Structure 1
Amino acid sequence: MAAIDGTYIQSGNLRLWSERFGDSRDPAVLLVMGTSTPGIGWPDELVDALVQGGRQVIRFDHRDTGRSSCVDFAVHPYTLADMAGDAIAVLDAYGLTSAHVAGASLGGAIGQWLAAHHPARVATLTLIMTGPMGADAGPAWARALAGQGPDPADLPPPAPRFLGFLARSAAMPRTTRAELVAVNVELWRVLNGDALPFDERAARRLSEETLDGSADPAAALNHDLAGRVMTSDRLVPLSLITAPTLVVHGTEDPLRPLPHGEAVAAQIQHARMEVIPGMGHSFLSPGLPRRIGELILANTERRAAEMS
């Protein structure tokens, strides 16, 4: 699948790589990817489902991923609001006053930020495998890593399967391209979970293209640093969000267990929730990308129905 437009756009002093698919006269869907993953993390099958449904689709590489600019985080730290500003810059570059926004994982937090602070820019909102942007996951992670029981007041920590992988992966070699790819494939395998089939070929292709397409693959780790900064703008109530919202979450998500998605849906007025049995924290199961694309498409049609 070839993009109609593939171009760099400016966000402040950064260059962001973006691609547009479909007819530019059609309603636009902006896809916002998660932590440390470039725009190609949105599978072509998902993009195809949206284009075939009469949508133009824009995906882009976050700062510190893919072909976009890398940042010296120690000198120029950034926050979730800055990453949301990049998404606005993408919309502006394509001349879009608003778009249907779909965000996965960290991209879902960015989508929440946009819908809460710039509601006119978000026609509909689809939040996939994410949690409330104002929920600090740090304490739950710290307790789990220390072998302590969960605090009932916290959203649940990652599953033992994922935490176990983190411990094992520290000893995995990373000196060659093949070794780096192997670690990433195993990470995607763990995130996919065991309930749905794992598309290892797609995971390897994504891992290879992510590694080969970045000037500095290590820079993507900055997303974790940015995601941990709980600024006041992240603490606004999600009840401010008025865009028709769909929350999509899997029952087997090892990184953000199902209560994270349920918490988002509970805090956004009139949000709908689609629970996918067996889905983990990735799109890397055969047939899943198209299913997610069709859910995003259906939510965009909800906006048209509510306006008619």
Structure 2
Amino acid sequence: MTATVPGMLTGEEKFVRSGQVRLWTERFGRPDDPTVCWSWAPPRRASAGPMSLWRLWWRAAGKVIRFDHRDTGRSDSVDFTTHPYALADMAADTAAVLDGYGVTAAHIVGTSLGAAIGQWLAVHQPARVRTLTAMASSPMGNNPGPAWARAMAGQPAAAGELPPPTARFLNHVMDSAKAPRATAQQRMDADVQTWRVLNGDVLPFDEPAARRFVEHCYARANDIAAASNHDLAGRRWDDDRRASLSRITAAALVLHGSDDPLFPQAHGEALAAQIPAARLEIVPGMGHHPFFSPGLTERIADSIIRHTT
């Protein structure tokens, strides 16, 4: 399906196959401009993202591809028990989306798990990555599980270990597990609270915008619970994930919030230090995402524009 969106941008929606998985995709922009592919895979969310991201995408490039990762939005859900997948499979999905639009190489912009997918592509399929932007992430070879376990048991961090999430975030995880989720409204309320905690404690949080986004996710998703499979995929550690980030040749921008409660600032610093052509930009006050802090997505867009041009 083809449509025209504001600013004389031509938009196109279609499904793309990645093996047996069908992925919903959308491309819009000016045909002659370089392509930016946005990879964002937050748990329990439709990957297409909130309206604040739409504004970012429109500003960040003349031509943008976005898509629903497997197990989110309108893309296919997977039976993880019988067909488990890993980061490499999600990276293959991203490459399949580019192939579906005849794109050889793109500016890869990833957030959280999406940034780990971008790292994987930049290491293992460097010809597909013109530039890399990794936001709110950690080195893809870093296994945060042991640090989490020690923190939740009240034990000190191990020497040389990247820091665990903040105490507030860990307390939220434990409290959230006990919260009532018998109705859709209770589940949406819990998700809004998670977005509030991920926003951090410094910058304002636009709760109405977050609530509209969560409601949109529930209305859009084929199976809202399936996105929890991303957590399972993120915990699988293969040799390809442990590959050295020093192999990345693309120019990289590492965007990280100074108040990220999930991946404290040291994670962003470690990621930038391991990529040879990386530039680290610490965003004051930003938590694990910029999506519901008024004005912050515009600042992030400006950084992406400078990097990709």
Give the TM-score normalised by structure 1.
Answer: 0.94
Stretch of structure 1 that moved more, 290-299 or 219-228? 290-299
2:46 corresponds in structure 1 to 38
Alignment of 1:287-298 (within 5 A): 287-298=295-306
2: distance between equivalents of 1:103 and 1:299? 14
Letter in 1 for 2:259: E
How many pairs are equivalent? 300
2:259 corresponds in structure 1 to 252
Stretch of structure 1 that moved more, 202-211 or 48-57? 48-57
Deviation of 1:49 after TM superposition, in Å, equals: 4.3
* CA distances 1:138-183 after superposition (whole Å, capped 9, x unpaired): 1001111111111122110010010111111122111212111100
Give yes or no for contact 2:106–2:128 (8 Å, CA) kept in 1: yes
* CA distances 1:224-272 after superposition (whole Å, capped 9, x unpaired): 0000111000111101001010000001000000000000000000210
Partner SS for 1:25: coil
1: distance between equivalents of 2:73 and 2:53? 19
Query: Which of 66, 83, 87 is residue 94 of structure 2 equivalent to?
Result: 87
1: distance between equivalents of 2:59 and 2:286? 24
2:111 corresponds in structure 1 to 104
Q: Share of identical aligned residues, percent? A: 54
What is the CA RMSD across the aligned residues, in angstroms? 1.4
Give yes or no for contact 1:46–1:292 (8 Å, CA) kept in 2: no
Query: Which of 64, 67, 79 is residue 74 of structure 2 equivalent to?
Result: 67
Stretch of structure 1 that moved more, 46-55 or 79-88? 46-55
2: distance between equivalents of 1:181 and 1:49? 25
Give yes or no for contact 1:50–1:294 (8 Å, CA) kept in 2: no
Partner SS for 1:259: helix
Give yes or no for contact 2:59–2:301 (8 Å, CA) kept in 1: no
Summarize the Cα distance change of 1:52–1:191 in structure 2 as closer, same or farther, 3 Å threshold.
closer
- 1:149 partnered with 2:156: yes
Stretch of structure 1 that moved more, 163-172 or 241-250? 163-172
2:84 corresponds in structure 1 to 77
2: distance between equivalents of 1:226 and 1:250? 24
- The structure with the greater share of residues assigned to helix is 1
2: distance between equivalents of 1:252 and 1:29? 27
1:305 corresponds in structure 2 to none
Deviation of 1:48 after TM superposition, in Å, equals: 3.3
- Structure 1 unaligned spans of 5+: 302-308
Summarize the Cα distance change of 1:216–1:52 in structure 2 as closer, same or farther, 3 Å threshold.
closer
2: distance between equivalents of 1:182 and 1:45? 20
Stretch of structure 1 that moved more, 198-207 or 91-100? 198-207
Summarize the Cα distance change of 1:64–1:53 in structure 2 as closer, same or farther, 3 Å threshold.
closer
Summarize the Cα distance change of 1:54–1:109 in structure 2 as closer, same or farther, 3 Å threshold.
closer
Alignment of 1:193-232 (within 5 A): 193-232=200-239
- 1:118 partnered with 2:121: no
Partner SS for 2:299: helix
Partner SS for 2:241: helix
Letter in 2 for 1:115: A
Deviation of 1:54 after TM superposition, in Å, equals: 4.7
2: distance between equivalents of 1:261 and 1:217? 30
Summarize the Cα distance change of 1:255–1:270 in structure 2 as closer, same or farther, 3 Å threshold.
same
Give yes or no for contact 1:21–1:58 (8 Å, CA) kept in 2: yes
- 1:187 partnered with 2:179: no
Summarize the Cα distance change of 1:31–1:122 in structure 2 as closer, same or farther, 3 Å threshold.
same
Give yes or no for contact 1:38–1:60 (8 Å, CA) kept in 2: no
Letter in 1 for 2:149: A
Give yes or no for contact 1:35–1:224 (8 Å, CA) kept in 2: no
2: distance between equivalents of 1:274 and 1:46? 19
- 1:286 partnered with 2:286: no
Partner SS for 1:131: coil
Give yes or no for contact 1:47–1:57 (8 Å, CA) kept in 2: no
